[in-house]
Structure 1
């Protein structure tokens, strides 16, 4: 591959683009008033009277030919187009003109001339003449001016009648290669019937033209083309034939007996299309077939297999060129020796390349096809430096498969074909020479984020040993050899570190040991820079079963070793399960013989800002990046949007070979890093401006907060947080939670408040059971809301069974409402109860969800339905009722309203907790059920869970807002009480109940900067007269201190 790389780099750097179209010259004169370019617009015909000028540099236009009745697709080979190798696309000067007497000289299959080359040189046939004169005038049989028709000099189209075509097809050895049925086609189909329409619509050439020049299949961005190609026979023939083609911008599909070629333009177009549109090789080649023959695309040659193989080689060459590895001394030396061989001396770049070239003797040819095929030593030498991935039908040497991936050799090439983040601190790259004087500064913290992706799975391969690796460990996928050795050792050491998890609230480890039949790999894990989202070289690992610590250990060490961290002693590791992952990490790294971690490098562990809320409350203060000084504002979820983009390639890599899958993933991750690199300056500038604005707001809040507190209290707070941070650095896992969690008091729920009030009733002289009665009414109110939602979902035309079920539900509901009303008579009195029953129950605007039908027009809903009967709560009494009421009764009812208010406050807290719990479960459902579903069945079950969780939080949102309205109604005309309720219990909207965009829609614009809703904050009210107010101020102080 070394020689091929050097030749590829030379031609790419020389021309700046592929040479096809720039160096091609066509041979022949055309009388083409019956042809037009297929790009013509309207009725105007661009006839090819000047076809020599129009298509001299564009040999891959699609043209059409007039048949006398209609225009049919045609090929430029029909009008005499030929391609010449060498000499900038001109005919080789030592070749005799065609149709001229060669004194016994024959033209071989590749266009090489036997006897008479020397005489051709003596007759000066390489002088610059016109195209017609070049072919026919110089000592030829006719004068160029007399040539007006090419029917006797151009190739003869194939005969299209069935008998003639079939005989030609069976007799011509070239045709089986040119024609290839799709894998799904019936092999017994009549071959002529399969091709008959295609050949009438777009004829194909025979194996050779009239002059013995073989036709080649050339695939370009404009489709599949056929053109005769004549090779060079002089000094350019010193190069192997495939490199001659490469100099012309044509990539051969084989190295001997070449029959199919791809232009560099089509390979580059496929690569860019795959990177941007995630188009697979199959889809792309189907597009080329449709471009070639829109009406009969299946009749076009199937070169999908060759496209896959060449795209791999081209991708590998491009990556070597991008990263400056195409002009190594070894590669250049090998290329120059082939290009300009010297007699008796070694070639040097400063030597005159042509001075000592000896012209061929008469009767001899230079490196023609027959002589090259008879010299196996030459081919075997080239096989050592050229990777052959698959065998073209014309390639006779299939013994090129490597049974095992090659191991990495010195020097260390890990990540040598990658681009890392230009903004992360890297000694020797973007740091000043004296940076070590401030090595402990926060700006030199290297931050990583780790995560797993179970969409990038891989199926078992039938012939794993036949896989061919073009690069191993030079991209983002880790070297499989050392990685397998590490996994083998880690499995043997695993019992040392086995322990029960201490955090049971987060479910990431539930998928650790899942086994998926038929899959070689269940997913991948990776590290990226936490601030900018650039993948770390050589850090992407495969998960054989699930996301295990041994996998991420290797990814972490490789990320540190391949991202220029020499001298950096502070690392930040953000990982979803760091509360468990970090426990024995240093022991695992120390005991391993395959991994290395310098003792001087300290790791600070953190959890992403969304996932941390799925852990225990202690994990929030110990591992949330918000509470880690020096890391700034960082959410730690940046890999989620990167996975969203990468997952679009999973359909094409899932069944690819192991090596091909690694190359595609490397290319896409490299493209992701490249896009971030070119946009880095603008992104940082925008973030810097936004950070400046937020910093001013935060500093003002911090200043106001500290000015309101005694100085000695602020000093105490600062000492507490500094000690907690120091203890955390020393390994005290709960140091931060001991300081932070004690400041947050969880608000009491309905049951706690009911218990407290019931105990008070037992010690008082009044009636008992009031708190239990109000609490049961709240449960009944929730049941009414659930039944309303159920009725709406039934729609306007429920089935008989559904109607019967609804009748039974309403019967049960009516019984419960009547029982509650009878108990209310005891506490409220008959007069108050009659006043309440005349009040209509309001329907909230947000009570009707997207999957429900509104009440209007629904014949199944009436005001008499039990789910719409107003419940006789004390809060249902209007202010007008108390005007004429005696003072004692009014005081008693007011007391019941205050009792209801306290219980409703607890009930509202329960609703918020239910919403939070459902959202946490919903995030887990998306990440580990929906995203990991590998079948229709599991996907359907996963989405059923999503629907249930969505219904749960929506229901509790309705109940919370209903409680809020009742609490405001109880507050009556007291503006202070109403403002207090509105401050403690804001309106709960849908956007307050959204889970992280990093889970549901990782690629949404601005999703990485989203902040959590108020529902995740402390739910205790503030009162400046009690200690709780002071605690809340301290918590705000500690939070603000981390961000200024």
Structure 2
């Protein structure tokens, strides 16, 4: 019989850091999801009689403790069936959650890296009894600045999250290699400029909405200048659209105004919810309704029906915009990730140490500034996802999911593996979107091995073939 040494999860975090990967039950194949403790689990029912036992004599205290433990054992015996049923339902739910999280992590990582991690993990499990230090491969190891072991052509082939600039460069290089007309050579740049105009429209619409019912003359002048500049961009874009969409395109066709879904946040000053009296008063202002280029829909393929766009200029425009929209989604998600990390750092280093908890302090001003940029990028991503739906890019919609308000929360708490329930915590989906690109300079072996160990422990060491 092979005996695998281990330490309970309640005690292992009080040992040295290396003991966690050496002896924690989370990394023991077949150990299931257990805490590994025995006596400590009985302390909770004993706490009930602790106030009474303080004033007892030694024989009386011993009899009271014996009576309490006998009652605890009897209650465990008669409630065992219900407890096992609840534990089975919890384990079945854990199998589904851990398998889904691991598969998402496994799919976005590079196949060569996954094969290396699998080999290292299996070797460490085989050597752990004779050499516990073999489990060191599961520790966090960041090696920034080291060259990648993958060749350059392999890195280009496995690029999982290309940026919009990278997509535009690929489209430009591919168009230059084909024999097409001069009017079609700058199609990718033309579509990219249209996407930039949409982002400017969203930013301007947010600023107009934030002004409130009584903006100052300086604010009105600033909005007016920005609208004039935006209208000039739209005019130039529309004039060039004829050369890309063909002579059948009519610039004067009526297109409905652009609709934006604003993220409601009542805590911020000047940010109103949908349908409130304050918002209606803003939209009813004369200065606000006379000239509104931020609501003009520009003639992009996503704003025109696919059939009409195919009749005018072929399917080439649709494919190019899909590629650029994918890059735009990757850019906005990366910006959101960086801003959420910045927000967490601000809470940890600036807001929490402050003596005052008022939200009008300088520390909270920095947080609100970051939150505004997060909402802007979230709205840009939502608009990008809507346009991908108009382009019928259903495969990308399965990859780029909807961002909910709960996904944008940041916490200043320091990660503690010993905290209750934290081992079941999973980050929102967009944090594991670009693992394939991040694994070039970072070592995701620890995150992957934890996911693999959680899946195996949830299934009791058996592989899930479903």
Structure 2-normalised TM-score? 0.63
- Tell me if structure 1 keeps the 8 A contact 2:168–2:188: yes
Label 1:881 to 1:774 Cα distance change in 2 as closer, same or farther (>3 A).
closer
Provide the C-alpha distance between the structure 2 equivalents of 1:701 and 1:1006, rounded to a whole number of angstroms: 14
Q: CA deviation at 1:754?
A: 1.2
- Tell me if structure 2 keeps the 8 A contact 1:933–1:939: no
Q: CA deviation at 1:789?
A: 0.6
Label 1:830 to 1:603 Cα distance change in 2 as closer, same or farther (>3 A).
same
Q: Deviations over 1:733-774 (max 9, x none)?
A: 649999xx9999641111111111111122222232221221
Label 1:632 to 1:785 Cα distance change in 2 as closer, same or farther (>3 A).
farther
For 2:91, the equivalent position in structure 1 comes to 695
Label 1:688 to 1:942 Cα distance change in 2 as closer, same or farther (>3 A).
farther
Provide the C-alpha distance between the structure 1 equivalents of 2:83 and 2:330, rounded to a whole number of angstroms: 37
For 1:801, the equivalent position in structure 2 comes to 218
Q: Deviations over 1:155-199 (max 9, x none)?
A: xxxxxxxxxxxxxxxxxxxxxxxxxxxxxxxxxxxxxxxxxxxxx
Provide the C-alpha distance between the structure 2 equivalents of 1:931 and 1:814, rounded to a whole number of angstroms: 44
The residue correspondences of 1:551-566 to structure 2 (distance < 5 A) are none
- Tell me if structure 1 keeps the 8 A contact 2:258–2:295: no
Provide the C-alpha distance between the structure 2 equivalents of 1:447 and 1:939, rounded to a whole number of angstroms: 43
Q: CA deviation at 1:797?
A: 1.4
Q: CA deviation at 1:899?
A: 0.4
Q: Deviations over 1:295-333 (max 9, x none)?
A: xxxxxxxxxxxxxxxxxxxxxxxxxxxxxxxxxxxxxxx
For 1:1041, the equivalent position in structure 2 comes to 453
Provide the C-alpha distance between the structure 2 equivalents of 1:689 and 1:918, rounded to a whole number of angstroms: 43
- Tell me if structure 2 keeps the 8 A contact 1:912–1:1015: yes
The residue correspondences of 1:409-420 to structure 2 (distance < 5 A) are none
For 1:871, the equivalent position in structure 2 comes to 298
- Structure 2: tracts of 5 or more residues without a match: 35-42, 49-71, 104-113, 126-132, 415-419, 437-446, 458-466
For 1:447, the equivalent position in structure 2 comes to 12
For 2:399, the equivalent position in structure 1 comes to 984
From the two aligned structures, give the one with the greater helix fraction: 2
The residue correspondences of 1:562-961 to structure 2 (distance < 5 A) are 571=15, 573=17, 602-604=18-20, 678=47, 692-699=88-95, 718-723=118-123, 727=134, 729=136, 734=141, 746-766=160-180, 767-829=184-246, 831-834=248-251, 837-847=253-263, 849-850=265-266, 851=268, 852-853=271-272, 855-858=279-282, 859=285, 860-862=287-289, 864-879=291-306, 881=308, 890=311, 892-934=313-355, 940-961=361-382
Label 1:808 to 1:1015 Cα distance change in 2 as closer, same or farther (>3 A).
same
Q: CA deviation at 1:1011?
A: 2.9
Q: Secondary structure at the match of 1:807?
A: helix
Provide the C-alpha distance between the structure 2 equivalents of 1:873 and 1:811, rounded to a whole number of angstroms: 21
Structure 1-normalised TM-score? 0.30
Label 1:941 to 1:968 Cα distance change in 2 as closer, same or farther (>3 A).
same
Q: Secondary structure at the match of 1:693?
A: helix
Provide the C-alpha distance between the structure 1 equivalents of 2:375 and 2:406, rounded to a whole number of angstroms: 12
Provide the C-alpha distance between the structure 2 equivalents of 1:677 and 1:748, rounded to a whole number of angstroms: 58
Q: Secondary structure at the match of 1:832?
A: coil
Provide the C-alpha distance between the structure 1 equivalents of 2:142 and 2:124, rounded to a whole number of angstroms: 5
Q: CA deviation at 1:955?
A: 1.0
Instruction: Work out which of the residue numbers 375, 383, 407 in structure 2 matches 1:962.
Output: 383
Provide the C-alpha distance between the structure 2 equivalents of 1:969 and 1:736, rounded to a whole number of angstroms: 42
Q: Secondary structure at the match of 1:845?
A: coil
Q: Secondary structure at the match of 1:917?
A: helix
Alpha-carbon RMSD across the aligned residues, in angstroms, is 4.8
Q: CA deviation at 1:845?
A: 3.4
Q: Secondary structure at the match of 1:446?
A: helix
Q: CA deviation at 1:730?
A: 7.5
Q: CA deviation at 1:896?
A: 0.5
Aligned residues: 362
Q: Deviations over 1:516-568 (max 9, x none)?
A: xxxxxxxxxxxxx6xxxxxxxxxxxxxxxxxxxxxxxxxxxxxxxxxxxxxxx
Return the structure number with greater relative CO, CA threshold 8 A, min gap 6: 2
For 1:1011, the equivalent position in structure 2 comes to 426
Q: Secondary structure at the match of 2:213?
A: coil
- Tell me if structure 1 keeps the 8 A contact 2:245–2:312: no
Provide the C-alpha distance between the structure 2 equivalents of 1:736 and 1:687, rounded to a whole number of angstroms: 46
Q: Secondary structure at the match of 1:856?
A: helix
- Tell me if structure 2 keeps the 8 A contact 1:847–1:958: yes
- Tell me if structure 2 keeps the 8 A contact 1:702–1:1041: no
Label 1:909 to 1:689 Cα distance change in 2 as closer, same or farther (>3 A).
farther
Q: CA deviation at 1:954?
A: 1.1
- Structure 1: tracts of 5 or more residues without a match: 1-436, 449-528, 530-570, 574-601, 607-624, 635-673, 707-713, 883-888, 972-976, 1000-1004, 1022-1034
For 1:205, the equivalent position in structure 2 comes to none
Q: Deviations over 1:203-235 (max 9, x none)?
A: xxxxxxxxxxxxxxxxxxxxxxxxxxxxxxxxx
In our comparison, the structure showing a higher alpha carbon Rg is: 1
The residue correspondences of 1:527-542 to structure 2 (distance < 5 A) are none
Provide the C-alpha distance between the structure 2 equivalents of 1:939 and 1:868, rounded to a whole number of angstroms: 33
- Larger CA deviation: 980-989 vs 825-834: 825-834
Q: Secondary structure at the match of 2:161?
A: coil
Provide the C-alpha distance between the structure 2 equivalents of 1:829 and 1:1038, rounded to a whole number of angstroms: 55
The structure 1 segments of at least 4 consecutive aligned residues displaced by more than 6 Å after TM superposition are 630-634, 674-677, 685-691, 700-706, 714-717, 730-733, 735-738, 741-744, 935-939, 1005-1008, 1035-1038
